[in-house]
Chain A
């Protein structure tokens, strides 16, 4: 019997959905194994179709994107209710992802910036979107824009996580095959990824590390053989789960941490910061500060994909 699956996107760019499509001919295998009951980016189903289902009707719900507004949350709760297994697909559902960087601001700051202050906006009356508005045909409403971006598992129970921004298409396929082959690991596991940090699959030569200055990738021509970190380029590979196949590194760009932390690491960013701080060359406080000052925007660098899932969660309100 074919599996019944719902696919949904919350606060996401759509890259995860595209990654599913990027399985190319394997998509035919997926279609052969699964019947899709919801997939807003590709197929025309209505929320009401899902609402009419019995609870637990779907075998799996695949949710990409973070929880940023009331619609994201409502559908997450709905799919949870209707599905036996909930899968967070991609960095946003898993850790908060790029939308999670919004947690460095409040809701009001963002609305003001986007609708009033931004350089390309002329909005003399200071109009910002409202949640409801009465027109002669009746009341129109928009989802509520939340103050804090959350991960999927901060809103509903999640059984499995497929990490990545976006996840590697083949890894999505192999993760899905775990469902139809009935070989799912213990609940809470990250699937479709490795168990060690990215350094394991990184082709660069790694030696003992001592860092005396940090640089950004656009400022230097990095040695193509040598570990980025040893060249003073912030690379989060040492704290990031493998599974991506070192895509960025092989393209000459240091790891930004989209595959998230390893098992039992509560906070990738803080862990990496602690690791980097351990290998600084200077030993005096003042000199240590000087070296750390060469890291541009450390909080957002180390928590680029994981702010909502971090111990910090968000900027203090």
Chain B
């Protein structure tokens, strides 16, 4: 018996019916080959609409379904479910988009109707060649990999661990904590960053469900949602983590200098010990030091070994080598954070050449009570500055560097202004383009600053120089800025300038993205599944993004995203199994000549080459059915299920022969 196609035309209220002659379209559809019946309804997606299809299928009047309505993104799943409920394979249904492609985009009713006829004829032809496909399920490994141990990764890991799920947290640096561990205060509440962060770091270090791998990097990710294979490189610390008790004797006696001990206040800025064997900061987790090979006298000159002599636990091991650990996880959370923009490329700001021009991260370290200045704000010569300028948007909102807004600079600039006022008698100038104080309590914080005698100058700083004019300016920096509210160029001599540098994508994010088969946007951050409805998911199932890996954001938003991602992961784990795409590509072994053209094309890394059989093979669990390999295969050995040549050629013929 030939295939019997049921055609269902949706009015979508007046969305479709307002621009398409439904009666004419239905009359046209009735005359098409293989069409057994045509119905139209006000809202096909409503219960009565769905019931129309279901009863026709159950009565055996039709065995193929074409719904002419909106986009597959909107309702493909709805109608597939109708088929399933009616005992018909959901892949025997296809959709014609006569809303987004016809009624919404054409002004003229006649041409809109004609186009709908063409598209419908194409779908009906295609429907005849549709084949039933089987949905498949894979089990989900309940363990999760979190990449990055900043506040984003810490929050996500704790959420999951507290829910009783295993987490592997991989951090590149010797300690977790990320940027937040370098801050003294956080805006707008002026909470002590360490006070709120360190308890969480300690929890991470102690949690039975968390396997913390610090000073380690993810090397390889293979597999697919539910079943990722991970390979991590544990970099050599030269200190045995099992033996070390963090007593600190080694860095106290170490003669090496990771951070110069001589030099001015700014050159010596540091949070942790300045020695070659060091902890990045005193609250580091794990509290195990690392030897910096570049400055270690033993590694550079072959002599010293003082740390080995002073270590009572014999924890120092100069022969330690990088090691690898391999394990499986079901989901991955990318929480790699950011790196600050390097302002030395903006020559006119003089960073790196002029004294007393600092980046915001350096200024944070200076403010940190446990840092090298003990939290004092000092000029390079060790004296207290009398005036400080804070330059906003350095590298952000700038076509030459990053067009995006880094979202946190306005607020940390205000925090800086407040801290300066609290700690010194200095005059404070904020040079801003716009003040973006959008978060909870942010505008109020700005208001408070207005009352703290802080000067706000609206304008982008043109240059920072040493072009002094008066004797009393001789140690000062000269800032030239167009004050756009006054309408004049101003020349302001200052003792110190802080550059509020942009948040940039983390170094190596591209590599992580590639390993996880997710894309990065032109700004360098990972593209989320949907900017509004899927902000922490990605196009690859089982891979989630949180914090600045997705785009610049502040701590509250980062923490919220981390919890969102861990909840998404939990929902995956709780399901235990996940349905994966049935419309995948398939290699017909008998046709594959082993030319290997398809081998490195798959964006999901689903194609491998079988060296024994000399044919390429597709891992169907990884395949998303994108069709890249299908188009490339020169011998038609690869078929896209649900979009095979027969179906596509039938669709084209339908389109061309409709009228």
A266 vs chain B, min Cβ distance (A)? 8
Contact (Cβ within 8 A) B595 A197:
yes
Contact (Cβ within 8 A) B628 A278:
yes
The complex places the Cα of A227 from the Cα of B614 at a distance, in Å, of: 14
> Which of A49-57, A134-142, A205-213 binds B?
A205-213
> Which of B310-318, B396-404, B630-638 binds A?
B630-638
Contact (Cβ within 8 A) B597 A242:
no
> Quick one: CB contact mask for A222-239 with B, threshold 8 Å, 1 for yes?
000001010000000111
Please tell me if B50 contacts chain A, counting CB pairs below 8 Å.
no
Contact (Cβ within 8 A) B635 A238:
yes
Contact (Cβ within 8 A) B635 A278:
no
Contact (Cβ within 8 A) A208 B634:
no
The complex places the Cα of A264 from the Cα of B593 at a distance, in Å, of: 15
B242 vs chain A, min Cβ distance (A)? 42
Contact (Cβ within 8 A) A278 B631:
yes
Indicate whether A209 sits within 8 Å of B597 (C-beta atoms), given known contacts A264-B645, A278-B628. Answer: yes
Say which residue of A197, A208, A263, A272 sits within 8 Å of B593 (CB atoms). A197
Residue of B nearest to A273 (CB): B634
The complex places the Cα of A177 from the Cα of B602 at a distance, in Å, of: 44
Say which residue of B592, B598, B599, B645 sits within 8 Å of A196 (CB atoms). B592
B176 vs chain A, min Cβ distance (A)? 36
Contact (Cβ within 8 A) B597 A275:
yes
Please tell me if A279 contacts chain B, counting CB pairs below 8 Å.
yes
Say which residue of A229, A271, A278 sits within 8 Å of B601 (CB atoms). A278
The complex places the Cα of A314 from the Cα of B554 at a distance, in Å, of: 62
B228 vs chain A, min Cβ distance (A)? 22
Indicate whether A278 sits within 8 Å of B632 (C-beta atoms), given known contacts A208-B599, A209-B596. Answer: yes
Among B591, B592, B614, residue most surrounded by chain A Cβ atoms (within 10 Å): B591
Contact (Cβ within 8 A) B593 A196:
yes
B644 vs chain A, min Cβ distance (A)? 10
Contact (Cβ within 8 A) A239 B634:
yes
A25 vs chain B, min Cβ distance (A)? 33
Interface size class of A (residues with CB under 8 A): 20 to 34
Please tell me if A262 contacts chain B, counting CB pairs below 8 Å.
yes
The complex places the Cα of A209 from the Cα of B596 at a distance, in Å, of: 7
Q: Which residues of B contact A274 (CB under 8 A)?
A: 631-632, 634
The complex places the Cα of A238 from the Cα of B634 at a distance, in Å, of: 6
Residue count of chain B within 8 Å CB distance of chain A: 22
Task: Please report the number of residue pairs spanning A and B whose Cβ atoms sit closer than 8 angstroms.
Answer: 76
The complex places the Cα of A98 from the Cα of B508 at a distance, in Å, of: 53
Indicate whether A196 sits within 8 Å of B591 (C-beta atoms), given known contacts A274-B632, A278-B628, A279-B601. Answer: yes
Say which residue of A198, A206, A262 sits within 8 Å of B591 (CB atoms). A262
Q: Which residues of A contact B592 (CB under 8 A)?
A: 196
Indicate whether A206 sits within 8 Å of B595 (C-beta atoms), given known contacts A264-B645, A278-B628. Answer: yes
Q: Which residues of A contact B594 (CB under 8 A)?
A: 199-200, 206
B649 vs chain A, min Cβ distance (A)? 8
The complex places the Cα of A207 from the Cα of B611 at a distance, in Å, of: 11
A280 vs chain B, min Cβ distance (A)? 11
Please tell me if B47 contacts chain A, counting CB pairs below 8 Å.
no
Contact (Cβ within 8 A) A279 B593:
no
The complex places the Cα of A208 from the Cα of B594 at a distance, in Å, of: 10
A269 vs chain B, min Cβ distance (A)? 10
Contact (Cβ within 8 A) A210 B595:
no
A14 vs chain B, min Cβ distance (A)? 31
Please tell me if B590 contacts chain A, counting CB pairs below 8 Å.
yes
> Quick one: CB contact mask for B583-622 with A, threshold 8 Å, 1 for yes?
0000000111111111111000000000000100000000
Q: Which residues of A contact B635 (CB under 8 A)?
A: 196-197, 238-239, 262, 265, 271
Residue of B nearest to A239 (CB): B634
Among B601, B633, B635, B645, residue most surrounded by chain A Cβ atoms (within 10 Å): B635
Say which residue of B590, B599, B636 sits within 8 Å of A271 (CB atoms). B636
Contact (Cβ within 8 A) B632 A197:
no
Interface residues of A in 50-109 (CB under 8 A from B): none
The complex places the Cα of A238 from the Cα of B645 at a distance, in Å, of: 19
Contact (Cβ within 8 A) B593 A200:
yes
Interface residues of A in 183-199 (CB under 8 A from B): 195-199
Q: Which residues of B contact A278 (CB under 8 A)?
A: 597-598, 601, 628, 631-632
The complex places the Cα of A185 from the Cα of B590 at a distance, in Å, of: 18
Q: Which residues of A contact B600 (CB under 8 A)?
A: 208-210, 279
B632 vs chain A, min Cβ distance (A)? 4
A275 vs chain B, min Cβ distance (A)? 4
14 CB contacts below 8 A, A to B, read A196-B592, A196-B637, A197-B593, A197-B635, A197-B637, A199-B594, A200-B614, A206-B594, A209-B599, A229-B595, A238-B635, A262-B591, A278-B598, A279-B632
B residues in contact (CB < 8 Å) with A = 590-601, 614, 628, 631-637, 645
Known: A239-B635, A275-B632, A278-B597. 20 other contacts (CB 8 A): A195-B590, A195-B591, A196-B591, A196-B593, A196-B637, A197-B593, A197-B634, A199-B594, A199-B595, A199-B596, A210-B600, A229-B597, A238-B595, A238-B597, A238-B634, A238-B635, A242-B593, A271-B635, A275-B597, A279-B600
A residues in contact (CB < 8 Å) with B = 195-200, 206-210, 227, 229, 237-239, 242, 262-265, 271-272, 274-275, 278-279
